[in-house]
Structure 1
Amino acid sequence: MASFATFERDLKVATAGLEPDAINAAVAKFAREEIARVVASGEGSPNFDRYVNGRAGAAEESVQAPGPILYVFNWWADIITAALEELVKRSPRKSGRYARSFLVVVGGRTVVTDFTKLRSDAEVVIFNPQPYTRRIETGSMSLSVPARHFETARGALRRRFGNSYRVEMKFVEVPGGISTMAPYRLRTGKRAGAMLTYPALVMNAL
C-alpha cells in the first residue's frame, strides 16, 4: 500500500481547489480505489474492518475530510485454518475421532465455523473437548504421536503469524454449553471431582 506520505501528497494534489463536499467525495473515492488495489495484489486480506472518522463500519462516502479512513485487515480465516491443520497433523490417527473434535470458540462461549466473519479484535480459543486431550499434551498417554502438540503448533504459528497475532498455549477452563463432552470432572486421583482444564491455543490480533 502507498506510504502515508505518498497518500497525503497525492490527496492534496487531487483535492486542490475543491469545495468541502467534493473533497469528501474525492477522499472516499481514493480510499475505495486503494483498498481494492491492495486486496487484489494479495498484500491485504479481502476481510477487513473499516473505520471512517473513528466510526466502525461507516461507509467511505460519509467521511469528513481529512478523515481518516482506516482499514484493519483481518487474517483470522488464514491463521485459524493453519492452526487446525497444525493440530490435526499432530493428532492420534487410530480412529480419527480426536482429530475431528477440535473446536474454535470466540467470546468464551460461541463455537464458530465461519472464520471470515470474525471481528479483528476477537479473542479466539481452539481446544479439543475429548477428556484425554490433556494427557496427550503432557505425554502421559501412550500414543504414537509426540507430546506437546498444542505447544508445538503454537511455535509453528508464531513463526508464520507472529508479526500480526499473539498466539499462546494455555490450560483453560471450559464452561458448560460449548460441548456435550466438556467440562469433564476427574474421576480418580488426588483431584477426583475437580474440573479438567484443557490445553488450548489462545489467539489475539496485535
Structure 2
Amino acid sequence: MRRRSSAVKWSDVLAGQIAVNTASTLSSPALHALVAQECRDLRDQAIQQGAAPDTYVTRVDGYLDRPEEEVRLDQGLVTYIFSDLAQAANWALAECQKRSPVKSGDFRKSWRILVDNKEWTDPAATIPMGSEVWIVNTMPYARKIEVGGMQIRTDPQIVEAVRQTVGRRFPRVLAARTFKALSGGRDARGGPVPYVLKQSGVASGLSWTKKGGWSRKHKSYTSRRKDRQAGQQVLYPTLILTERIS
C-alpha cells in the first residue's frame, strides 16, 4: 500500500488532500479504517500546528460530508476544505479601519462584523462554514462617504476598494458590496441605529476618481429620491462575504 499526501495550506482549496493508492485485494474494513484514521491524523496535526483553522468540510471521492472510511482504496481522494471566512473577515475589517478618515475617530470605531445578522466580537472565534458575513459602518454619514457625496481627506468608496482586494487575497471567498438596513444598537457616538433622516437628503454634486481626485459636477440640491426623504431610514454600505464550499 502506498500513500501520498500534499502539504496542508490554509488558503489552498486542496488543503489536507490525501491520495491513497492500494491494490484492490486489500479493501478490507480494517484497511479502510486505517486509511481514514491516517487522513484524520494529518488533518488534526495541521490544525494543532496552526497551519489550518479548525473549521472545515470533508470531501470523499468528490462527495461532501462522507466519512473517510468510504474512500476508494484505488486512487481514492480525501479532501479537507478549510474555511478562510474568519481570516478574510478579520483582514477586511482591519482594512476598512485603515482606510477610514480620522477626525474624531468615531467613523473608524464604528465598523462592525455581523455573522448571520448577529454581531461578531471575538476575532479568534470560529465562523461556521456557510455563514454570511457583513462588514458595515454604523455612522449616519457612512453612505455619503461610500458614494463620494462627502469630501474627506482619504479616498472614499472604502467598502468597494476592500471588496476588490479581498477576493484576490482569499480566492475562495466571494465579496459583494451593497447597502443594507440595520436595526438596533448604537454607533460610536451613541446615536441610534438605524439613523432616521430628519430632513430630505442633499445631492452634493461632488465627484471623485482615483486619478483626478475631487471635483463638482453640479450644484447641490435637495434630493427627490423616495429613500432620501425625511423619515426614511439610512441604508448602510455593507461588504458581504460568503465562501465557496462545493
Matches of 1:118 and 1:5, distance apart in 2: 22
Q: How has the CA–CA distance of structure 1 residues 204 and 178 changed in structure 2, closer, same or farther, with 3 Å as cutoff?
A: farther
Q: How has the CA–CA distance of structure 1 residues 24 and 8 changed in structure 2, closer, same or farther, with 3 Å as cutoff?
A: closer
Counterpart of 2:158, as a letter, is H
How far does the alpha carbon of each residue in 1:127-154 deviate from its partner, in whole angstroms, 9 at most, with x for none?
0111111111122223212211111111
Partner of 2:52: 45
- Identify, as 1 or 2, the structure richer in helix: 1
Does residue 45 of structure 2 align to residue 7 of structure 1? no
Does residue 70 of structure 2 align to residue 65 of structure 1? yes
Residues 84 and 102 in structure 1, CA contact (< 8 A), matched pair in contact too: yes
Larger mean Cα displacement after TM superposition, 45-54 or 178-187: 45-54
Shift of 1:185: 1.1
Residues 197 and 232 in structure 2, CA contact (< 8 A), matched pair in contact too: yes
Q: How has the CA–CA distance of structure 1 residues 89 and 63 changed in structure 2, closer, same or farther, with 3 Å as cutoff?
A: closer
How far does the alpha carbon of each residue in 1:1-48 deviate from its partner, in whole angstroms, 9 at most, with x for none?
538997131xx25x954641x234213222123324555787x52232
Larger radius of gyration: 2
- Identify, as 1 or 2, the structure richer in strand: 2
Aligned length: 194
Partner of 1:139: 148
Normalised TM-score (structure 1): 0.78
Q: Identity of aligned pairs, percent?
A: 26
Does residue 194 of structure 2 align to residue 194 of structure 1? no
How far does the alpha carbon of each residue in 1:144-193 deviate from its partner, in whole angstroms, 9 at most, with x for none?
122111111111212212x211111111121x235463111111114111
Partner of 1:183: 194
Counterpart of 2:179, as a letter, is F
Shift of 1:50: 4.0
- Unaligned runs of 5+ residues in structure 2 are 7-13, 201-223
Counterpart of 1:184, as a letter, is Y
Q: Which runs of 4+ in 1 moved over 6 A?
A: 3-6, 52-55
How far does the alpha carbon of each residue in 1:39-71 deviate from its partner, in whole angstroms, 9 at most, with x for none?
5787x5223224487786x9xxx7543378552
Residues 85 and 173 in structure 2, CA contact (< 8 A), matched pair in contact too: no
Q: How has the CA–CA distance of structure 1 residues 5 and 152 changed in structure 2, closer, same or farther, with 3 Å as cutoff?
A: closer
Does residue 243 of structure 2 align to residue 205 of structure 1? yes
- Unaligned runs of 5+ residues in structure 1 are none
Counterpart of 2:234, as a letter, is L
Give the 3-state SS of the residue equivalent to 1:79 in structure 2.
Answer: helix
Matches of 1:158 and 1:188, distance apart in 2: 38
Does residue 179 of structure 2 align to residue 171 of structure 1? yes
Matches of 2:17 and 2:175, distance apart in 1: 32
